[in-house]
Amino acid sequence: MSDALRPMTENELHAYADGQMAADDVSRVEAWLTAHPEDAARIAAWRIQNEAIRDMFGPYAKTLPEDAARLKTPPRNPLLARLPLRAPAAVMLFALGTATGLALPSLLGSPATATPIFEQASDAYRIYAREVRHPVEVWAGEKDHLVAWLGKRLGERVVAPDLTASGYTLVGGRLVPVDGVAGALLMYEDKSGKRLTLLLGRTPKKNETAFQFASSGAVETLYWMDNGLAYAVSGEVSRQALRSIADECYRQFQPA
Amino acid sequence: MLDLMPSLRRYARSLTRSDADGEDLLQDSLERALVKRSQWAGGSLKAWAFSIMTNLYRNETVRAARRRSLPIENADAVPATLSPPGDPLEQRRLAAAIDSLAPDFRAVLMLVVVESMSYREVASLLQIPEGTVMSRLARARTQIARYLEADNIIPLRRTE
């Protein structure tokens, strides 16, 4: 008698349904299933169930923006956590956090609770720069309209800096919220399609700051404030490249 | 490790049956993995990370049972914001069916079906014989089917 007529075990049927059976055995199971439709129906039901379970859990397999940071932070030391020192240290950290929290955002012209401009900039880069069909609201073809519109919404003079010297051309721009009010996002790309964004936000005071770097994952941001606007250039490029681009932006935003 | 985080998050969610507890388990597992990273003996990083999470979850469940302080919240299952594909009612019932499984059965089902691990990988990860993996899988499937039938609605007929 041929092996094909040996009854299938439950385990073999499950292994077949899960695609975990050696190729040699597959034909044996298939022969069995042709002769035993009730088993074929059970396998079909398991497969439908598998599919439904995968569909259901698929959305949970997501990446959160803080994931990379969570891998970098040194783990809590369980011994340290038990020391009585912990409470005073926490108080101190809190005080320190409050102090810097109060001091720093005022430098950036935003309330203590606001997301700092560089984070808003790297988020905007991450969200919009990967868009293939709708990276911008107004394309570079309508550049004059774009800068006039954004300038009007921001209440400040907006220019779309010419970055061709660095190899980047204007893609276009869009209106985005920055610190809760209208801001602008200009997008550039080079010949290979690598993109940069320039985020512009209004600042309450006529602040002026030095250029500062911030990294968020692979995204580097260089930001500064000048003349009533906060500027942030973001991209997945070296800090050096970002520096020269920021220099150009800075120069071109100076009143003529 | 960063590449594994979505899968780990999903597995944590399936074990704990709650978004918040899932994030906590994920966080604890990451910390454990970072502390013990020198103990990773090469091989599959995924299997290693998953076994850390499974063990943490088991320990935590044992401790919670001893304390008798954490009644596991009822399955209000999949949050609306996720809007998984398919009929939302069926999704809820399936979620409830899966949640009704014993943790060890749920773990096997998740690792095989969702994480596409082989029976052998699951066996070594959970430190149980391969035969036990298969019998748990079979029983999990039967139990889910029975749970869904008990409601007297035709289960999981997806629109083509």
pLDDT digits (tens, 9 = 90+) for B114-135: 998 999 999 988 889 999 999 9
Q: Which CATH architecture has domain B1-73?
A: Orthogonal Bundle (1.10)
Backbone torsions φ then ψ of B54, nearest 5 degrees: -60, -45
* Global pTM value: 0.48
Q: Does B110 touch chain A (CB under 8 A)?
A: yes
Give the long-range contacts of residues A141-148, CB within 8 A, separation 24 or more. A142/A172, A143/A170, A146/A172, A146/A173, A147/A173
CA distance A218 to chain B (A): 13
Q: What is the spatial distance between Cα B97 and Cα B148, in angstroms, rounded to a whole number?
A: 7
Check CB contact under 8 Å for B31 and A61.
no
- Closest partner CB to A52 (pick from B5, B10, B156): B156
**Residue-level pLDDT at B160:** 43
Strand partners, A221: A214, A234
A62: contact with B, CB 8 A cutoff: yes
Q: Is A57 on the interface with B (CB under 8 A)?
A: yes
Q: Which residue of B has its CA nearest to A59?
A: B82
Taking the domains of chain B in order of start, what are their residue ranges?
Answer: 1-73, 85-160
B1 or A146: which carries more pLDDT confidence? A146
Digit-coded pLDDT (tens) for B36-86 = 777 777 778 888 889 889 988 887 766 665 544 333 333 333 333 333 445
How far apart are the CA of A46 and the nearest CA of chain B, in angstroms?
Answer: 7
| Partner residue facing B156 (CB), from A48, A60, A70 | A48
Per-residue pLDDT, B145: 86
CATH tag, B85-160? 1.10.10.10
Residues 6 or more apart whose CB falls under 8 angstroms from that of A195 comprise A125, A129, A135, A171, A187, A188, A189, A235
Structural domains in chain A, sorted by start: 3-60 (no CATH), 115-253 (3.30.200.100)
Residue B85 CA to residue A103 CA, distance in Å, equals 47
pLDDT at A113: 45
Residue with tokens 């034909």: A27
- Confidence (pLDDT) at A5: 61
Q: What is the mean pLDDT of each run of 10 residues along chain A (256 residues)?
A: 66 90 86 90 90 87 82 51 41 46 39 70 93 90 94 92 94 92 95 93 76 86 86 92 90 82
CA dihedral A205, A211, A213, A218 (to 10 degrees): 100
